[in-house]
Structure 1
Amino acid sequence: MTNSVYTATDFAQGFLETNPIAAFKSAIAAENQDLKRRFSPDRSPEDLLNEKARFIDKLLSASWTHFLGDAANKQALIATGGYGRGELFPHSDIDILIILDQSYSDAIQDRLSSFANFLWDIGLKPGLSTCFLDECVAFSSQDQTVFTSRLEMRLITGNEALFNQLKQEIINTPLWSSERFFLAKMEEQEQRYSKYHDTAYNLEPNIKEGPGGLRDIQIIGWVFKHHYKARSLKELINYGFLPKAEYDSLVASRDILWRLRFALHAQTNRGEDRLLFDYQRDLASLFGFVDKEGQPDVEQFMQFFFKTVVDIERLNEMLLQLLNERLISSKENLTPIPITANFSSIAGYLEVSSDDVFQKNPLALLEIFLLLQQSPSLKGIRASTIRLIRKSLPLIDDSYRRNKDANRLFIEILRQPRGITHQLKRMNRYGVLAAYLPDFANIVARMQYDLFHIYTVDEHTLFVIRNLRRFALDKHSEELPFCNNIFLLTPKPDVLYIAALFHDIAKGRGGDHSTLGETIARNFCQQHDLPAHDTKLITWLVRHHLLMSMTAQRKDISDPDVIHTFALQVGSIEYLNYLYLLTVADIRATNPSLWNAWKDALLKELYISTHKALHRGLHNPVARSERIEDNKKEAQDELLKLGISPTTIDSSWRHLSEDYFLRYSADEIAWHTIAIAACTETELPLVLLRPQTQRGSAEIFIYTRNEAQIFSICTATLDQLGLTILDARIITTADQYVLNSFQVLEQSGEAINDLHREIHICNALREGLTSKQVKVGKNIHKQSRQARHFPIETSITFLDDPTHQHTIIELVTTDRAGLLSTIGRAFVELNIQLYDAKITTIGSRAEDMFYITDRESSPVDDDSERQRIRDTILRHLAQAER
């Protein structure tokens, strides 16, 4: 076979070659290579898609004739789905249907099996179904997905009469009424959207299946073509569904997705439809994006993609609504029912009373969303009015934004008891939010290129507001009851929503987005005449929206001094309530998979401790000595109740430092004391595990003679066991025993809930500490596929401890398997004592803090010694990467 334009004769000749499979594989590879060579990211690949379909037609026709022989013309070989439409991407599956003639026999079955096997052998991945005509009709009548695939079938070769009969039975006979088919496709789309969290703004979106993807366009086509027996989407213009300009926009958006999908197939050499991190940078370059100041090429590329799919999502909403009116609604339902002077209701959707409503009264561009909130029976905005809103966006100019009536309407939307999230999302989708808040326009479809933020900034912002709204609703109270209870204490929920709206509004501008956002929020509050108290609270929340999460995750919140400092920053219980709710909503909207019982308990503990401090009074803080004595007394009372004698308690505690009684709760102290008292010297190391603590994690407690490599052995073992270390507390007694605690979760974020797993973890740790080495084995701690695309530049900073007892090392680097054990080995080489560790992982970013001293238990103040520590840690990290 030649490598030019393939004909049916070329393929027929291919079966005469010594190795037909190799010949056909070579032909397919050559065709794909030729398509890839001719593909341009600047042009629609429609011709290339059609050409690939024709190429496969010829290949299948020759193969059909070769394997079926004299039975080839009695059966029908039919293309369905995208292949049936003639839209075949380089590595798409080949969907084909074989309709059998009544003369079918076992001999034909053998030939068909050989035919199918050959297609697999040459790498075509056929989606193949075989049935008799009556079976095909029956399947199509029972299953809408089967029926859908038959709507676009096309005869490749074989029995034309059989194909025409099938076409008559399926397409021209109403197996599915227009209404029933429409409702089935709506349910299918709803399920598909749910799979992608009802947002097109995912970090690794699916070009085909995601909201706003190619499937959204195909659903429009299927419903429209089924009802009107139309041959192409262009007939949407003729039937009055779209003006030509909007049809051109739909086709342009479809072509962008086609170009992206074609490029993905060409780049990956497989049927890949996901815009994974692995491919985004190369595609950004291919499509001509280059780095600009403050905006990398890949962020621009993804913003270009997101704006495309949002346009498709909006057109999908409009067209399906119009189809719903034509196919389902009765004429009575389409009779306008006046709502206000500007709006009527038609089939449950708001419609302008005349086409010049927005020109005559621009305030109606906001009023319409307020009406939807106040009238829950309304389903949305009618397609023609959505179109008019989009056309009228230029009316929202600077003078409009300064209009006090417009300001009042916008604040009124945020103060409604229902529909806030839905209407803000709708305002964003139609462009009204970006028009009214120009600063918000800067974050629309803006991707944050890291693993922590899985949504675009605008979508994340709206998810934060949604989460805050859920705190107010009884039906969601079981999710986070503590948040629901605190929400009841906030007199002005709209203050929370405004703070959420502005907390990330300055992302992508360079500089501290919290500080810049504070200024933007203040200007908004002053323009909208908010009370001075509300303005002060909103701007403070925007400025400090990261304060609580950073304090909880990076500082020792068992220390009264840390709580007092945080309480001073917060200042009042009112501010604490608002900040706590905003913090929880923000974390859960950033990346739901990163929210777990540990973070929930940590933030709750910080809230409760701070609430007590504020209630007690900032002028009267809890002294460390007071906290220590309280913990000791509470633990002692608990131990005495359990029958532990005062002598045993004193013996177990005699060498413990005050730091121990400060940093552990009474419950933990009692648990440790019982275990230590029952343990003899020969039984060391003592390793205990509690699968569920008050913080929602498992606690692993180790008591043994002090050895330099204990931290490294423990962390390496836990890492190999696939556990995520959330926190580490290291206590060394005066007589050189260590009490180490690790708070851990399974890598999935779940608690440890299997007894055999608990025993295995304890045994592995005990074995490692006894042998002074980590058992070599397969490390089941997996680094995510995405993490390698986000290398974090390693930085090591030395911080002074406010207590002047330790030196604090802050390490920022890429999270990886074995990171903590690598640091532990560096500390052993440096002869450093480790007293505490705060472990924080944000996506692929590790932000860990280590409290250290030298071997004489003194802080490390010498600059040259600090440099030696930095160099040693960097060397160990580099060696671990090899």
Structure 2
Amino acid sequence: MTERLSAVPATRHCLDLAALNGLGSDPAELAPALREARTAADARLQQAFERDVDIRELVHARAWVIEQLILLAWERLAPAGAGLELVAVGGFGRGELHPHSDVDLLILLPDDTSPEAHAQPLERFIQVLWDADLHPGQSVRTVADCVAEAERDVSVATNLMEARLLAGGGSLFRAMCRATEPPGLWPADEFFAAKVEEQDERHAQYEDTIYNLEPNLKDGPGGLRDIQMIGWVTHRHFGTSTLHGLVEHGFLSEREHDDLVAGRDYLWRVRWALHALAGRSEERLLFEYQRRLAEAFGFGDPTDSNQPVEQFMQRYYRNVMQLARLNERLLQSFDEELLAGRKHLPSSDIDEHFRVHQGYLELKDPHAFVIHPELLMRLFLVLSEHPDILGVRASTIRLVREHLYLIDEDYRRDPAILHQFLTLLRSPRLVYSQLARMNRYGVLAALLPAFGQITGRMQFDLFHVYTVDQHTLFLIRNLRRFAYGKYPEQFGHAIEVFKRIERPEVLYLGALFHDIAKGRGGDHSELGARDAREFVDQLDMSEADREMVVWLVEDHLLMSRTSQREDITDPEVVHRFVERVGSQRRLNHLFVLTVADIAATSPKLWNSWKDSLLWELYVAASEALSRGPDQAVDRQASVAETRAEALAGLVERGAEASDVEGLWSTLPDSAFLRLDSEQLIWTSSEVLAGSKLPLVACRRLPEKGISEVFVHAEDFSGLFAVVARELDRMQLNVLAARVVTSEDARSWDIFQVMDANGQPLNPSDAARLRQSLAEQLSAKEVRPLPPRPVPRRLQPFMGRSEISLGESQGRTRLDIAATDRPGLLSAIAEAMVARGLRLFDARVATFGQRVEDVFLVGEGDGQALDAEACQALEAELRKRLDV
């Protein structure tokens, strides 16, 4: 706890105090003058920041500037002779302020004084600070109030630890300091336990990972709060106010201290720039700032490429990862030092090199890694073999980090080391936990240098929520969940298929290498397969297992692409897929890996819909493999099989076979390829029971997590646009569209949708949709959807849409890849209407926030578009999409 700040070099000439000395106590005069002085000082400090002045000088300089302005207001407005004291707390107490940081103040009152006694002058004081745009956050308390609040809330106690006297005699301030210090209040062990719990809760808000798309550099894991946490515990336990106290007490080496300070300074620079860009106290690296920050920090112009953003964010993540590692190790050290409750935990030898010390694994001889480098790998095997061990002692973690240099090329090719690694992957337990620990300690990147290249590498899109290394580890975590049978309601099919996997280590190796070549340029699947080949050829595995690993890496996207981008009801699509897969064993591995991969890409990406698509493809491929992959595709046999199944189902429900056959006589064969028997039974029943057109029906498919909307109406050029508009207006997410037109010019279209919350439609929404669509289809009127604003998170990704046109099946195939946004499908449909085109088929696919849609269109007479018409359609689409 310190008193007044001293001026620092960066404050020179940035604040003209002499010009303010003549101010009176009139708030109408005082507030504008303070605001003008603050604005001018901030502008000069920003210029200093752009000249690369030391960030430590700048954050302390700004705190000094704000302190001078607050003191001037206090001297003019505080009640004289009342015994009040003004105290800085929080970041302001530490003397650290960024361009838009809050200014935390505590006004201490004598114990025999109520806040109401001085309410009017204090309210004037605070109002002047607000009017001067100084962002005050204030509390008015007696010393007794402070003690009571600090005793109840550890965050208040933490704030008071950083208190600094600004104005007043100081007797109240000193009394408060004495009363809130340990051991009387929050002894070091209790304080530490409470702060660890607080940090755990804070980290949980960010899914306990530093790798979020828009990370919070203050409160997220590895952020500034984690550094402050270390400082708070150090202060409480050792009574030192600097991080260097950790070196003096043996908790950090000088190098680690320098790394910690350098990491803090880097985050301070990013935070300063972020505040300046946002014009407010923004702590999140939002997408709209990431591009500008990348350019500001010298990574190049991000206008034409995402590479500068990805490089800037990789540097950010690597800095934060380093800080998170230091935070983890230091908290482990504090835990060993402070928590007496651990003393009862077991201590025993494991072997000649390792022992358990009060529940944590420890290397007996601190020089053992140099003599026996293989112990760097052996450590993780020991942990997997002893699940009762709580973790690794902080001193041993430090030894691991200090001896990473031993993992050189000879080490990586050592058969004994590779055998240990493979043994770890074959372990029945704790595989993910130890791989994640290897990543945290830097061992995984040292053992697999290619993995080091993807550490902290983000992809600037809304599809990949995590960095490549974190995604890879989460994929392996999902595979381990399948092995344990966890979350059967989400992963029932994957759990069932995983039981057929004889050697799971093949899957784990495929997972480790599947994205290892991201960011190198070229096809990451092919490049990753080469890396995988080089690595597995050194392992003691069968040739078949090695081939499986390499194939999984090279074709890890095959199943997701086929299920989501192609019509898997088409037997030719299934046949091509089966030809590529080749065996049931490969199919089993690929299915499990694909499910784990999608679920590890984003917490919101995996759903019942994707599960049903993959499972449908898996079952169809299994059946095809059982018949033999070389068996020719018989489309007519497939049509006949679907017709027979659907007819039997309809007759069972009481329909006359002749009525059904008469109804189907106008449907093209494509209807029996594109619709399954259940869809044919449902839609045919609705048409047979309906009395007039248009007919709109809805049904819930809870097992797939979707609803289906059936539209049967007289066909006209704007029919698809009418439906798309209404689905967009109700903010429904269209997952797939199956468009069929009968020979008597009637639509037989099915739309598979979810509501805005990713759920099937509720009954009231379904009823509204049926009524509204029926009315608009009767009128045959296309009402353009009013433009809707693009959500903030999407705006940085609204680049030029990818549009291609070509001939297919005697018509024109239109492929569109774009960022999904409100009204997109409707805009595409309206462009077709504007050009007078007919829609004959549609396949809609959404991947996170990216859509890849395919449409089969033609002129009014059904003919393909000529070159001029194609150009006109593309121009119409760009006018509506690229805004």
**Shorter-normalised TM range:** over 0.9
For residue 869 of structure 1, what is the amino acid of its counterpart? C
Name the CA distance, whole Å, in 2 between partners of 1:493 and 1:663: 36
Q: Specify which of 99, 103, 114 is matched with residue 90 of structure 1.
A: 99
For residue 85 of structure 2, what is the amino acid of its counterpart? A
Identity of aligned residues (%): 40
Name the CA distance, whole Å, in 2 between partners of 1:131 and 1:732: 76
Q: Specify which of 738, 745, 752 is matched with residue 736 of structure 1.
A: 745
Moved more, 816-825 or 202-211: 816-825
| Structure 2: unaligned runs, 5 residues or longer | 1-11
- Cα deviation for residue 712 of structure 1 reads 1.7
Name the CA distance, whole Å, in 2 between partners of 1:28 and 1:323: 41
Find out whether 1:815 has 2:820 as its counterpart: yes
Structure 2 equivalent of residue 765 of structure 1: 773
Structure 2 equivalent of residue 877 of structure 1: 878
Name the CA distance, whole Å, in 2 between partners of 1:67 and 1:411: 72
For the structure 1 residues 879 and 832, does the alpha-carbon distance in structure 2 shift closer, same or farther, using more than 3 Å as the test? closer
For residue 762 of structure 1, what is the amino acid of its counterpart? R
Name the CA distance, whole Å, in 1 between partners of 2:21 and 2:785: 52
User: Helix, strand or coil: the match of 1:211?
Assistant: coil
Q: Specify which of 457, 460, 470 is matched with residue 459 of structure 1.
A: 470
Q: Contact (CA 8 Å) 2:731, 2:822: kept in 1 or not?
A: no
User: Helix, strand or coil: the match of 1:592?
Assistant: coil
Give the TM-score, by structure 2 length: 0.94
- Cα deviation for residue 215 of structure 1 reads 0.7
Structure 2 equivalent of residue 166 of structure 1: 176
Moved more, 340-349 or 598-607: 340-349
Find out whether 1:31 has 2:41 as its counterpart: yes
Name the CA distance, whole Å, in 2 between partners of 1:645 and 1:836: 30
Find out whether 1:389 has 2:386 as its counterpart: no
User: Helix, strand or coil: the match of 1:13?
Assistant: coil
Moved more, 335-344 or 711-720: 335-344
Q: Contact (CA 8 Å) 2:839, 2:857: kept in 1 or not?
A: yes
Deviations 1:828-867 (A, max 9, x none): 4555442221212334432111234555546x4x8xx246
Structure 2 equivalent of residue 785 of structure 1: 792
Structure 1 equivalent of residue 803 of structure 2: 796
For the structure 1 residues 465 and 705, does the alpha-carbon distance in structure 2 shift closer, same or farther, using more than 3 Å as the test? same
User: Helix, strand or coil: the match of 2:227?
Assistant: helix
Find out whether 1:307 has 2:307 as its counterpart: no
Matches within 5 A, 1:417-496: 417-496=428-507
Name the CA distance, whole Å, in 1 between partners of 2:320 and 2:671: 56
Name the CA distance, whole Å, in 2 between partners of 1:363 and 1:523: 21
Find out whether 1:716 has 2:725 as its counterpart: yes
Cα-Cα RMSD: 2.5
For the structure 1 residues 800 and 585, does the alpha-carbon distance in structure 2 shift closer, same or farther, using more than 3 Å as the test? farther
- Cα deviation for residue 485 of structure 1 reads 1.1
Matches within 5 A, 1:658-697: 658-681=669-692, 684-692=693-701, 695-697=704-706
For the structure 1 residues 226 and 571, does the alpha-carbon distance in structure 2 shift closer, same or farther, using more than 3 Å as the test? same
Deviations 1:369-401 (A, max 9, x none): 111111112122222222222221121111111
Name the CA distance, whole Å, in 1 between partners of 2:13 and 2:284: 31
Structure 2 equivalent of residue 325 of structure 1: 336
Structure 1 equivalent of residue 327 of structure 2: 316
For the structure 1 residues 772 and 439, does the alpha-carbon distance in structure 2 shift closer, same or farther, using more than 3 Å as the test? same
User: Helix, strand or coil: the match of 1:813?
Assistant: strand
- Cα deviation for residue 568 of structure 1 reads 1.6
Name the CA distance, whole Å, in 2 between partners of 1:702 and 1:845: 26
For the structure 1 residues 320 and 454, does the alpha-carbon distance in structure 2 shift closer, same or farther, using more than 3 Å as the test? same
For residue 93 of structure 1, what is the amino acid of its counterpart? D
Q: Specify which of 260, 275, 285 is matched with residue 275 of structure 1.
A: 285
Q: Contact (CA 8 Å) 2:701, 2:708: kept in 1 or not?
A: yes
Moved more, 484-493 or 334-343: 334-343
Matches within 5 A, 1:19-168: 19-40=29-50, 42-70=52-80, 73-101=82-110, 102-104=112-114, 106-168=116-178
Name the CA distance, whole Å, in 1 between partners of 2:314 and 2:370: 31
Q: Contact (CA 8 Å) 2:705, 2:759: kept in 1 or not?
A: no
Q: Specify which of 547, 556, 559 is matched with residue 570 of structure 2.
A: 559
Deviations 1:266-317 (A, max 9, x none): 2222111111121122222222223799982222211111111111111111
Name the CA distance, whole Å, in 1 between partners of 2:786 and 2:105: 44
Q: Contact (CA 8 Å) 1:386, 1:430: kept in 2 or not?
A: yes
Structure 1 equivalent of residue 761 of structure 2: 752
Matches within 5 A, 1:582-597: 582-597=593-608
For the structure 1 residues 105 and 451, does the alpha-carbon distance in structure 2 shift closer, same or farther, using more than 3 Å as the test? closer
For residue 757 of structure 1, what is the amino acid of its counterpart? D
Q: Contact (CA 8 Å) 1:8, 1:62: kept in 2 or not?
A: no
Name the CA distance, whole Å, in 1 between partners of 2:135 and 2:489: 47
Structure 1 equivalent of residue 213 of structure 2: 203
Matches within 5 A, 1:481-520: 481-520=492-531
Name the CA distance, whole Å, in 2 between partners of 1:816 and 1:221: 45
Name the CA distance, whole Å, in 2 between partners of 1:519 and 1:666: 43
Name the CA distance, whole Å, in 2 between partners of 1:338 and 1:466: 30
Structure 2 equivalent of residue 842 of structure 1: 847
Q: Contact (CA 8 Å) 1:285, 1:297: kept in 2 or not?
A: yes
User: Helix, strand or coil: the match of 1:137?
Assistant: helix
Find out whether 1:260 has 2:260 as its counterpart: no
User: Helix, strand or coil: the match of 2:775?
Assistant: helix
Q: Specify which of 292, 296, 299 is matched with residue 289 of structure 1.
A: 299
User: Helix, strand or coil: the match of 1:98?
Assistant: strand
Find out whether 1:534 has 2:550 as its counterpart: no
For residue 88 of structure 1, what is the amino acid of its counterpart? L
Name the CA distance, whole Å, in 2 between partners of 1:385 and 1:847: 50
Q: Contact (CA 8 Å) 2:234, 2:241: kept in 1 or not?
A: no
- Number of corresponding residues: 870
User: Helix, strand or coil: the match of 2:734?
Assistant: strand
Moved more, 264-273 or 490-499: 264-273
For the structure 1 residues 291 and 35, does the alpha-carbon distance in structure 2 shift closer, same or farther, using more than 3 Å as the test? closer
- Cα deviation for residue 59 of structure 1 reads 2.4
Find out whether 1:190 has 2:191 as its counterpart: no
User: Helix, strand or coil: the match of 1:281?
Assistant: helix
Find out whether 1:238 has 2:248 as its counterpart: yes
Deviations 1:677-716 (A, max 9, x none): 23334xx221122233653211111111110111122112
Q: Contact (CA 8 Å) 1:502, 1:521: kept in 2 or not?
A: yes
Name the CA distance, whole Å, in 1 between partners of 2:787 and 2:499: 47
Name the CA distance, whole Å, in 1 between partners of 2:620 and 2:310: 41
For residue 878 of structure 1, what is the amino acid of its counterpart? K
- Cα deviation for residue 334 of structure 1 reads 9.4
For the structure 1 residues 606 and 209, does the alpha-carbon distance in structure 2 shift closer, same or farther, using more than 3 Å as the test? same
Q: Contact (CA 8 Å) 2:529, 2:550: kept in 1 or not?
A: yes
Q: Contact (CA 8 Å) 1:294, 1:509: kept in 2 or not?
A: no
Structure 2 equivalent of residue 578 of structure 1: 589
- Cα deviation for residue 505 of structure 1 reads 0.8
| Structure 1: unaligned runs, 5 residues or longer | none
